[in-house]
Amino acid sequence: MENKIKEILSHYKGVFGVIIKDSFGNRLAINENEVFPSASIIKLFILNRLAKEDYDVIVKLTKEVKVGGCGVLKSLKDGLMLTTKDLAYLMICLSDNTATNLLIDYVGMENVNQHSKENGYLHTILGRKMMDIEAKKAGKDNFTSPKDVERILDILCEDKDCLDMLKNQACNNKLPLYLPEEVELAHKTGELTSIEHDVGRLYFEKGWVDIIVLTKELLDNTDGKKLNNEIGKVVYDYYNQ
């Protein structure tokens, strides 16, 4: 499997970070400490800072908080009342940027970054809200690494609610594209220009395997989707032979 994954990566131009880790203790890592613009993968770290006891807190949707990009809240009626748990589902399942920004306001950007620092997420920074172009122009951005994602994925997959959010992912054009429909993959995608990420836990009859694929400096985003497609298929075939 390792040789096949390296061969896949050799067919594309860019920088890649990959971790494959299974429930039997096997682990493959390529550029695990490389820092990547996180795109929507940063939403996993925001989710981790939302306390269970706050799931029923009500948040009001207003015109001022709506932003573009992924999601449905930008198109819904002003004044809509949602729980923070509702927002979390929208953030993870639909990658809703407005929901994400509302949760950043609720949990606090500094709290997310302080938690990352205190818990040894060496490469993860929440530097701006979603779609904040001015912040990005000022040099503020969101970053993470395959190794940091590996750790946060472990934590979220042990939580029933978070796992359900990841299993209900609606963006399925990368790792799971060539997999049978009945296969369970709890995952989160992220994309920006020249960046295509997908990270998740694939379940099979005897256990699970985590697949973490981060990319940057792609010549074409289509390449990033294709290499995710191919890696997903290779890993699935290996654990289902």
pLDDT digits (tens, 9 = 90+) for 66-80: 999 999 999 999 999
The confidence score (pLDDT) of residue 241 equals 85
| Contact status, residue 124 vs residue 145, Cβ threshold 8 Å | yes
d(CA 161, CA 149) in angstroms, rounded, equals 18
The confidence score (pLDDT) of residue 122 equals 93
H-assigned helices in the chain: 2-10, 42-48, 84-93, 97-107, 109-118, 133-137, 146-157, 160-167, 221-239
The confidence score (pLDDT) of residue 235 equals 98
Helices 221-239 and 2-10 cross at an angle (nearest 10°) of 170
| Contact status, residue 153 vs residue 200, Cβ threshold 8 Å | yes
**pTM for this prediction:** 0.96
For residue range 154-190, list pLDDT tens digits in order: 999 999 999 999 999 999 999 999 999 999 999 999 9
The whole-number average pLDDT for the span 70-95 is: 97
For residue range 145-160, list pLDDT tens digits in order: 999 999 999 999 999 9
The whole-number average pLDDT for the span 38-62 is: 98
Task: Report the chain's mean pLDDT, rounded to a whole number.
Answer: 97
The whole-number average pLDDT for the span 184-207 is: 97
| Contact status, residue 41 vs residue 124, Cβ threshold 8 Å | no
